[in-house]
Amino acid sequence: MGTKEASPPTVLCLFFLFCLGGKCLASEFQATQTATLTVDASPQLARKIPDTLFGIFFEEINHAGAGGIWAELVSNRGFEAGGPHTPSNIGPWSIIGDDSSIFVATDRTSCFNRNIVALRMEVLCDNCPAGGVGIYNPGFWGMNIEDGKTYNLVMYAKSPETTDLTVSLTSADGSQSLASATVTVSGTLNWTKLEQKLVAKGTNRTSRLQITTNKKGVVWFDQVSLMPEDTYKGHGFRTELISMLLDLKPRFLRFPGGCFVEGDWLRNAFRWRESIGPWEERPGHFGDVWHYWTDDGLGYYEFLQLAEDLGAAPIWVFNNGVSHNDEVDTVAIAPFVKDVLDSLEFARGSANSTWGSVRASMGHPEPFPVKYVAIGNEDCGKKFYRGNYLKFYNAIRQAYPDIQMISNCDGSSKPLDHPADLYDFHVYTDSKTLFNMRSTFDRTSRSGPKAFVSEYAVWRSDAGRGSLLASLAEAAFLTGLEKNSDIVQMASYAPLFVNDNDQTWNPDAIVFNSWQHYGTPSYWMQTLFRESSGAMIHPIKISSNYSGSLAASAITWQDSENSFLRVKVVNFGSDAVSLTISTSGLQASVNALGSTATVLTSGNVMDENSFSNPNKVVPVKSELSNAAEQMQVTLAPHSFSSFDLALAQSKLIAEM
């Protein structure tokens, strides 16, 4: 993963006037505008960007978790999605056979107290069809089963008579068998945990799990799980999707929402304690904002683990007694406050504490470093928000004085009327508006809480399903956040993921299905900001009659071996620009060797990526052979360019 190399090389002609490998390339664009960008890299004017500036926000939306980064292949694995009243809908489970050979219905006989629904299967036939009768689960729009890979099946079953079951991975219509094994349910009324490894002998992207038998009688099933063996670090996440996140180098992970935290009604809000402990015992819940069931295999613990795996600071967004449609009066909020304090003890408490011991029993005796919490999501205008907020704020401050608390109320234009360490700032708008918002925080007071731009994106008419135009406006907005990073502490794009089969919100950073994935231009744009967190930012000035269509920033950063001056420039206009970059104050000379130029652009401003053409709009990286303190480049129309000038024997950021 990462910034893509140019292929074919002639693509570079679109972007610059410079010599590459001794051969000068002529621009296919006749620059009609000129501009000068001056950078003052003197140490006395440099300012350190917060280490936390750019991170990611994960919300359970668009089947981002269930059927997404969480690798569980079975949908509705506990038969709970139809509700606690039985008989109930068992979808997407279905039967193999007909009503003369098999009868299935849910009942309340599970051995798990928190999820009491199980499935009763009665085989009616004396001479069952070849292959038997039974049930199957297609997963989330088909299971991706790949040749040679191992899949771990776990399920609970009971039967009054000893019964052999055939568990199989097959094609969607059952005609192709990819893996099969026989498991035996002992004749007992006690539930038995059955485990079986299935090794695929073939690949099918829309497979299903089948459980069949030829024996007449009754079998109960509950908590049927199928997980690929090769999850990320063995922690249950889809490796290829986590790789996309790692490539962003996120400094924080905000989770699990979003509106998912609130619920349309409080009864359907995310409840952290219902999402911890053994997966078999988790009741799951219906996310009524985004309209689908989650088994909560991806729960509070797993989010904390994901943050650790990513090397990102966890930001726990909790419900403050407010949903979209109902609220808890402040006089009755105390149980909710205690619930949140318990959640923090689960994350941070010692392995000997009440809730820390639960975390330890799940395999993580060391505390998770939760140092940020958001008190609600987009609730500032609600009747009881401020009263509830203060109850949470005071209790958390007393118990955990180091935790930074985030208010839902925007403090960018006027002071907050309550204490906070940070405040949320959300913006979803058209591309022109967001481009012009690059100076939003220029006028924000430098005293008081810091801003957390926890949700930003271009959407609606000019966003498409993730257009180049959207990414350019977002890039310009982020250069403004870099410039104002003395008051802006964090920022994250939203939404992060979308399963192509459930695009409830559009656009998104990463699109996937059961076996494919790609980044939208907005994803690739973010890769050019991944070195900004913790870097040094420098003052810049743009001189041009065309400056209203340009946005830029300059930072110095270093990897494990080298230091760089990075100049990022967005050309939001339809004209090419002959740009002179003039740098002063550097404490080291520029070395053309190792200097690079990376450009995100395309032939049409509304171009998008897709499964059929995932690399249509991706950054193209090339050598910058004319790198110098004074240099000239040509910016393509509608482009985002990042110039990394290698610095020889740099002292500029030695203190970083």
Convert the pLDDT of each residue in 242-274 to its tens digit. 999 999 999 999 999 999 999 999 999 999 999
Q: What is the mean pLDDT of residues 495-520?
A: 97
| Phi-psi region at 67: left, alpha or beta (left = phi > 0; alpha = psi -120 to 50) | left
Q: 496: helix, coil or strand?
A: coil
CB atoms within 10 A of CB 155: 24
For residue 463, the number of C-alpha atoms closer than 13 Å in the C-beta half-sphere is 19
Compare 22 and 551 and report the one with higher pLDDT.
551
Convert the pLDDT of each residue in 451-480 to its tens digit. 999 999 999 889 999 999 999 999 999 999
Report residue 135 as tokens. Answer: 């049930």
> Model pTM greater than 0.85?
yes
Q: What is the mean pLDDT of the chain?
A: 93
Contact of 557 with 597, CB cutoff 8 Å: no
Q: 460: helix, coil or strand?
A: helix
Convert the pLDDT of each residue in 191-236 to its tens digit. 999 999 999 999 999 999 999 999 999 999 999 999 999 999 999 9
Confidence class of residue 648 from pLDDT cuts 50, 70 and 90?
Answer: confident
Convert the pLDDT of each residue in 552-600 to its tens digit. 999 999 988 899 999 999 999 999 999 999 999 999 999 999 999 999 9
CB atoms within 10 A of CB 258: 25
Predicted pLDDT at 32: 82
Predicted pLDDT at 15: 36
Predicted pLDDT at 30: 52
> Closest Cα to residue 72, out of 231, 259, 214, 219?
231
Residue in the structure block whose two tokens are 């760089």: 564
Q: Which residues of 343-378 are buried (b: 16+ CB within 10 A; e: fewer)?
A: bbbbbbbeeebebbbbbbebebeebbebbbbbbbbb
- pLDDT at residue 3 is higher than 50: no
- pLDDT at residue 168 is higher than 90: yes
Task: Compute and round to an integer the Cα radius of gyration of the chain.
Answer: 28
> Closest Cα to residue 55, out of 516, 408, 372?
372
Contact of 103 with 321, CB cutoff 8 Å: no
Q: Supply the DSSP string of 97-164, one letter for each residue.
A: S-TTTEEEEEES--S-TT---EEEEEE--SSPPTT-EEEEE-TTTSEEE-TT-EEEEEEEEEESS-EE
Q: How much of the chain exceeds pLDDT 90, in percent? A: 92
Convert the pLDDT of each residue in 272-310 to its tens digit. 999 999 999 999 999 999 999 999 999 999 999 999 999
Predicted pLDDT at 398: 98
- Rounded Cα distance between 188 and 392, Å, is 50
Contact of 480 with 521, CB cutoff 8 Å: no
Amino acid identity, position 403: I
Q: What is the mean pLDDT of residues 44-56?
A: 98
Confidence class of residue 27 from pLDDT cuts 50, 70 and 90?
Answer: very low
Q: What is the mean pLDDT of residues 517-529?
A: 98
CB atoms within 10 A of CB 525: 27
Report residue 459 as tokens. Answer: 């959407």
> Closest Cα to residue 69, out of 311, 256, 203?
256
- Rounded Cα distance between 354 and 583, Å, is 58
> Closest Cα to residue 378, out of 272, 450, 303, 454?
454
- Rounded Cα distance between 48 and 57, Å, is 23
Convert the pLDDT of each residue in 387-434 to its tens digit. 999 999 999 999 999 999 999 999 999 999 999 999 999 999 999 999
Q: What phi and psi values does residue 470 have, to the nearest 5 degrees?
A: -60, -45
Convert the pLDDT of each residue in 364-397 to its tens digit. 999 999 999 999 999 999 999 999 999 999 999 9
Predicted pLDDT at 335: 98
Q: How much of the chain exceeds pLDDT 70, in percent? A: 94
Q: What is the mean pLDDT of residues 610-629?
A: 96
Contact of 441 with 451, CB cutoff 8 Å: yes
Amino acid identity, position 59: E
